[in-house]
Amino acid sequence: MTSKYGTPYFSNYINSEMEPSDVRSMCCRLRLDLRELRKKSGGFFGSGESTGSIGVVTVNLPRIAYLAHDEADFYARLDKMMDIAARSLKTKRDVVTKLLNEGLYPYTRRYLGSFDNHFSTIGLIGMNEATLNAKWIKEDISNPKAHAFARDVLNHMRDRLSDYQEKYGDLYNLEATPAESTTYRLAKHDVKRYPDIITAAKDGETPYYTNSSNLPVSFTDDVFEALDNQDDLQTLYTSGTVFHAFVGEKLPSWKAAATLVRKIAENYTLPYYTLSPTYSICKNHGYINGEKYICDICGETTEVYSRITGYYRPVQNWNEGKTQEFKDRKLYDLEKNDSLDDEPRISHQSEAADKTLEKSVGDEEKLLLFTTKTCPNCQAAKIFLQQANISYEIVEAEKNEDLVSLYEIRSAPTLVVQNGAEYKQYVNASNIRSFAESCCNK
C-alpha cells in the first residue's frame, strides 16, 4: 500500500523519546503529546480518547518578517500576533464550553464530558519566505544563518505557549499547520497589499507560501539532504508536523518501501513521515504508475493523484496555489541516493570518522555512550562494547542536555570517542558493533 498509494503515515518511535502511549495522531498532521496532558490531569487510562484540539490559529510569518525593521521588531510583532491567537482560542474555548454545558452538544457531553483536556493550537506558515523577506537575513532556510533563525523562532514560540498555558490554565501546543488553502490565500492577499513581498513562486506565477518551516519544494531531489535540514526543526513542534517524501512513481516493491521507512526511522529523529508516490487513474484501465495525463492504452484523459498536504486528491481539483506548488516541486530521486540498499545509510561524516578511529583507538581515549530510556537498540550497543572489553561511560541523554548539545547528538545510541580536543561519532547499534569488532581485531 505504501509503495503504490502512499496512504500510511509512519510515527518514529525508534529515535524519539516517545512511546506509542505518549502520542495520538488525530488527522493528517495533528499529533498530541499526551505527556503534557498527564502533567495536567495526573494521568489516567485511555486519556487519548478524551483529548483533541479546540482549534488552530495560523501565524503568517512572511508578512511579519516583511514589515519588521530588524530582528527585535520581528519578535515584537510575532508576540503581538501570538497574543491575539491565544486570546481568540481562549474565547472559542469559553464559547464552546458554554454551549456544551447548556446542552447543545449532547453526544459530546455524554462521551467527552468537557474540553478541559483539549489543546489550543497555534501554527505557522512560510518560515522559508520569512527568512527571505527578513532584512537582516535575505536567505532561504537552507542557509545556516536562516536555519538557525528558524530554530530560534520555533523555540521562542514554544516558550511563549508555555506562558499562555500558565496565564489561561489551558493546554497550548505548536503545529506545522497543514494550510492546504491558507498558504495560497494569505500569499495572494499579501502580494496584493505588498507587491514586492517575496513568496515561494517566481514573478508572474501564482503566489503561495512554503508550508510551515519546510524547505522550498524545488530545493533538492535528494531525500536525505532534505531530511538532514528538517530533522532538528520538525522535532520542535509540540502538536504536529510531518515530512512528506514525494517520489515520482511507486517504489519498486514493498521491501524497498520498508527499507526506506526503516532508514528514516533509524537515522533521524523527526516524529512523523510518509512516502508519497504520484500515480494516475484511468477510468478504463485503473492504476497507472507516475504522472500520466493520457492513458497509453486507450488515449483517455486520466486523473493524476498526489498528496496535496495530508491526503491524496486529483491535481486538477487543487487550488491555484497548490497547483503551482505541484509544478515547482522537485521529486526525490531514490535511485540517485542508493536509498533502497539493504545497508543502513550513514552520513559521509560518520563514514570518514569510522576510518579515522580505526587508526587512533588507544587507552588514552574517552568513550561516551549516549542512550535514552526508550531506545530499543541501546542495550545491544552496551552488549557489543562489553563483549569487546571496552570501557565506556553511559550518558542518559534526557538528563544531560548540555553534553547532548556539546557533542551534537541527534539519535540514540551514539558512541562518542574523544581523543583530546577531537571526537568522532558512531551512530546506531550496527556502527557501534563494527567499532567494537575493530577493537577486538587489533
Q: What domains can be seen in the chain, in order of their start residue?
A: 2-328 (3.20.70.20), 348-440 (3.40.30.10)
Q: How far is CA 333 from CA 222, 225, 226, in A?
A: 6, 11, 12
Residues 6+ apart with CB under 8 A from 60: 81, 125, 126, 186, 190, 209
Q: What is the mean pLDDT of residues 251-265?
A: 87
pLDDT band at 336 (very low <50, low <70, confident <90, very high): low
Q: What is the DSSP letter of 96?
A: H
pLDDT exceeds cutoff 90 at 96: yes
CA 390 to chain centre: 36
Q: pLDDT category, 333, cuts 50, 70, 90?
A: confident
Of 38-52, 142-156, 298-312, 357-371, the one with minimum mean pLDDT is 38-52
Mean pLDDT, rounded, for 132-145? 96
pLDDT given for residue 98 in this prediction: 97
How many angstroms from the chain centroid is the CA of residue 126?
A: 15
Residues 427-441 have pLDDT tens digits of 888 889 888 888 877
Sign of the dihedral defined by the CA atoms of residues 41, 43, 45, 51, in that order: positive
Residue 162 pLDDT > 60, yes or no? yes
- Supply the DSSP symbol for 143: S
> What residues does 419 pair with on adjacent strands?
422
Give the model's confidence band at 41: pLDDT under 50 very low, under 70 low, under 90 confident, else very high: very low
pLDDT on residue 19:
61
User: Residue 254 CA to chain centroid, in angstroms?
Assistant: 24
Q: What is the pLDDT of residue 37?
A: 41
Which residue is associated with the grid cell 488552530? 56
Q: In what order do the strands lie in the sheet with 279-282?
A: 286-289, 279-282, 303-307, 312-314
**pLDDT tens-place string over residues 372-389:** 876 667 888 888 898 888
pLDDT at position 3 is 86
φ/ψ region of 113 (left if φ > 0, alpha if ψ in -120 to 50, else beta) reads left
Q: Is the pLDDT of residue 69 over 80?
A: yes
Confidence of residue 199 (pLDDT cuts 50, 70, 90): very high
* pLDDT reading at 185 higher than 90: yes
What's the rounded mean pLDDT across residues 61-67?
A: 98
**Encoded amino acid at 313, one letter:** R
pLDDT attached to residue 314: 94
**What are the residues facing 60 on neighbouring strands?**
125
State the pLDDT at residue 21.
52
Provide the 10 A C-beta neighbour count for residue 208. Answer: 30
Report the pLDDT value the prediction gives residue 40, as an integer from 0 to 100: 44
Look at residues 85, 78, 80 and name the one whose alpha carbon lies nearest to residue 157: 78
Q: Quick one: pLDDT at residue 345? A: 38
Using a pLDDT cut of 70, give the percent of the chain over it. 84
Q: Is the pLDDT of residue 393 over 70?
A: yes
CB 424 within 8 A of CB 436: no
- Listed in sequence order, the DSSP H helices in 235-316 are 254-267
The mean pLDDT value of the chain amounts to 84
Buried b / exposed e across 48-64, counting CB within 10 Å, b at 16+? Answer: bebbbbbbbbbbbbbbb
Helix, strand or coil, per DSSP, at residue 305: strand
CA 442 to the chain's CA centroid: 42
* 42 pLDDT higher than 80: no
Give the pLDDT score at 16.
Answer: 67
| pLDDT at residue 405, as a whole number | 82
Per the model's pLDDT, the better-predicted residue between 150 and 311 turns out to be 150
Tell me the pLDDT band of 338, cut-offs 50, 70 and 90. low
d(CA 266, CA 412): 9
